[in-house]
Structure 1
Amino acid sequence: MKKVALITGASSGLGREYARVHASHGGDLVLVARRLDRLNELKAELEAQYQVDVLPLSYDLSRPEAPQQIYDTLVARGIEVDYLINNAGLGGQGSFAERLIEEEIGLISVDIVALTRLTKLFLPDFLRRGAGRILNVSSTASLTPGPYQATYFAAKAYVTSLSEALWMETRGTGVTVTCVLPGGLSTEFGTAAGLEGTGLALALTQSPYKVAFDSYRAMLRGKRRIISGVTWSQRLALKMIPFVPKILVLLAAMGLNKKDA
């Protein structure tokens, strides 16, 4: 039987690549994003190329009712999800004191609340069936605090911590939870997050397809965590974080995240 993957944030970037990778494995798809026109374009592409069924759903995951509405829609249609890929996420650059509270709450609503709600909705079904895969998209940003992207870095730390805890909780059940920590990807995310003019923007060069391919494969294998989309020097720097004085880590992160004057 074809496996059904539910992918959030599927209209662009990494989410779109996850859809292509899953379709290339012969699986059907439920694609969630706000931009229905883009989802329909992707639906036409994947159904023509891979002969799979694609259901596009337009929802704004910053709205608290959206995860339940997605779940209820699929139950009503008799669609059983096998893989949940929580990819949707918002970023945001700037001083915490100066950014609008609406921006911070919107980020938290998508990056933390929606991911948590969707996981809470689908995980019990997976456990009852004794089968299922969850892939949560975090970031290498989760490994350190991030001045001038304080809420984003903190949100991704939550995603990594939650995912690894659930990986342990689900051991031996037939269900697995995998977390991917991408590095700097060449997608629309950097522009949407306002990263132009920062040192970090120069590092947004890695292929989203490779990260999607690598982490999808890790999900199928039930791996706890994978870091992908980083250079060897970036990987080395990440490994050194626990051994570097925190003030130096904070200074380095601030230098990357703060815009040039």
Structure 2
Amino acid sequence: MENKAYKGQIALITGGTSGIGLELARCFAKDGYNIILVARTQEDLETVAQELTAQYGVKAYGIAADLMRQGAAEKLYEEIKLEGLQIDVLVNDAGQGVWGKFTETDLQKELDIIQLNIVATVILTKLFLKDMVARNSGKVLQLASTSSKAPTPLLAVYAGTKAFVYNFTQGLINELKDTNVTMTALLPGPTETDFFNKAGAEHTVVYQEKDLADPADVAKDGYEALQKGESKIVSGMKNKLQITLGNILPDEALAENYRKQMNPSKKDK
């Protein structure tokens, strides 16, 4: 890593080279934050870092790390500490899912998803949050999902991990109430990102037949909520209405509704 003599605040963004993570990086850079990106592919990291520096005049660089691997999150933290960098904002954006009936999907893929969506998120939150609380300043943005508020057949493991992220975040917010450290959960609905392709869900009703959210709009909602210190933000009016309805309907009805969205689309046949 070259020349990381940062002046000003630093945002660390996992999954920052595509989708919502990339758009969040642009939001932070536009406001003058220096950026540390984390993703698996060095080439993508370099491309995005160069773009952010050229467009916004901030310092940006990437750290290649596969957060699905045990020990990767701890190594990431140690690398940043060795450089003497203070992370002012942590964004836990990286996450994946796998589509299909639980009895038919690949167990190792699901364990990798749990490692990424839950274990790495907990580790990074723990390590960086302790530093933030010690100096009594900092912000954390956690990527949850509208699926975190409802049972989601055919994406059961993914939805379960996001339910963990949401409840984990809300519990920590209460613990942080007497500090100047804030934490925000961002709950997007289906969004036009690589998620569906990586999950093998590009043939579903929701992907083929529904209007997907623009990741730039989702990022803007999350960024603004984070800066205001809000505990959560559901991105998009339709998703807000869906969450409100979900608070009324029984779980069985919610699961059936989500099942219809996740079923294969007839258009794909």
Q: Give me the TM-score of the superposition, normalised by structure 1.
A: 0.96
Q: Which runs of 5+ in 2 are unaligned?
A: 1-6
- Identity across aligned pairs (percent)? 35
| Deviation at residue 204 of structure 1 after TM alignment | 5.4
In the alignment, does 2:264 pair up with 1:259? yes
How many matched pairs?
259
The answer for the alignment partner of 1:219 in structure 2 is 226
The answer for the alignment partner of 2:246 in structure 1 is 241
Counterpart of 2:125 in 1: which secondary structure?
A: helix
Structure 1 moving runs of 4+ over 6 Å: none
The answer for the alignment partner of 2:79 in structure 1 is 73
**Deviations for 1:191-243, whole angstroms, at most 9, x for unmatched residues?**
11111221121335211111111211111111100001x3x344323211122
The answer for the alignment partner of 2:32 in structure 1 is 26
| Deviation at residue 55 of structure 1 after TM alignment | 2.0
In 2: Cα distance, 1:37 partner to 1:21 partner? 22
In 1: Cα distance, 2:227 partner to 2:166 partner? 18
- C-alpha root-mean-square deviation of aligned residues, in Å? 1.3
Aligned partner of 2:153: which letter? P
Counterpart of 1:16 in 2: which secondary structure?
A: helix
| Deviation at residue 111 of structure 1 after TM alignment | 0.5
In 2: Cα distance, 1:233 partner to 1:4 partner? 33
| Deviation at residue 176 of structure 1 after TM alignment | 0.6
In the alignment, does 2:59 pair up with 1:59? no
Q: Which runs of 5+ in 1 are unaligned?
A: none
**Deviations for 1:65-100, whole angstroms, at most 9, x for unmatched residues?**
111111111111111100000000011100100111
The answer for the alignment partner of 2:169 in structure 1 is 163
| Deviation at residue 48 of structure 1 after TM alignment | 1.0
CA contact (8 A) 1:139 1:183 kept: yes
| Deviation at residue 128 of structure 1 after TM alignment | 0.5
In 2: Cα distance, 1:224 partner to 1:156 partner? 16
Q: Give me the TM-score of the superposition, normalised by structure 2.
A: 0.93
The answer for the alignment partner of 2:3 in structure 1 is none
CA contact (8 A) 2:191 2:214 kept: yes
Aligned partner of 1:157: which letter? A
CA contact (8 A) 2:138 2:181 kept: yes
In 2: Cα distance, 1:218 partner to 1:249 partner? 27
